[in-house]
Amino acid sequence: MKAVGLKKYGDINVFEDIDVPKPSAPQKQQLLVRVKATSVNPIDVKVRGGVYDDYPDYFDRVPLNKDKYQILGFDSAGIIEQIGPDVTRFKVGDEIYFVASPFGHGSDAELVLSDERGAALKPRSLSFEHAAGIPLTALTAWESLVERLEIKEGEQAAILIINGAGGVGSIATQICAKILRLPVIITTASREETKKFSKEMGATHVINHHEDIRK
Q: Give domain status of residue 100, yes or no.
A: yes
Instruction: Name the pLDDT band for 10 (thresholds 50, 70, 90).
Output: very high
Say whether pLDDT at 29 is over 90: yes
pTM for the full model? 0.87
Please indicate, yes or no, whether residues 124 and 158 belong to a single structural domain of this protein. no
Where among 64, 97, 130 does a domain terminate?
130
Please indicate, yes or no, whether residues 124 and 167 belong to a single structural domain of this protein. no
Residues 16, 136, 198, 148, CA torsion sign: negative
Please indicate, yes or no, whether residues 86 and 179 belong to a single structural domain of this protein. no
Please indicate, yes or no, whether residues 112 and 7 belong to a single structural domain of this protein. yes
Smallest CA-to-CA distance from 175 within 197, 148, 146, 150 is with 146
Say if CB 205 and CB 187 are below 8 A apart. yes
Give CA–CA dist 44/37, Å, rounded: 15
Please indicate, yes or no, whether residues 48 and 121 belong to a single structural domain of this protein. yes
Where among 130, 161, 181 does a domain terminate?
130
Say whether pLDDT at 101 is over 90: no
Q: Give domain status of residue 193, yes or no.
A: yes
Q: Give domain status of residue 213, yes or no.
A: no
Please indicate, yes or no, whether residues 40 and 118 belong to a single structural domain of this protein. yes
Please indicate, yes or no, whether residues 17 and 114 belong to a single structural domain of this protein. yes
Count of CB atoms within 10 A of residue 102's CB?
16
What's the chain's average pLDDT?
96
- Domain ranges, residue 101: 2-130
Q: Give domain status of residue 215, yes or no.
A: no
Q: Which residues contact 211 (CB under 8 A, 6 or more apart)?
A: none
Give CA–CA dist 55/72, Å, rounded: 16
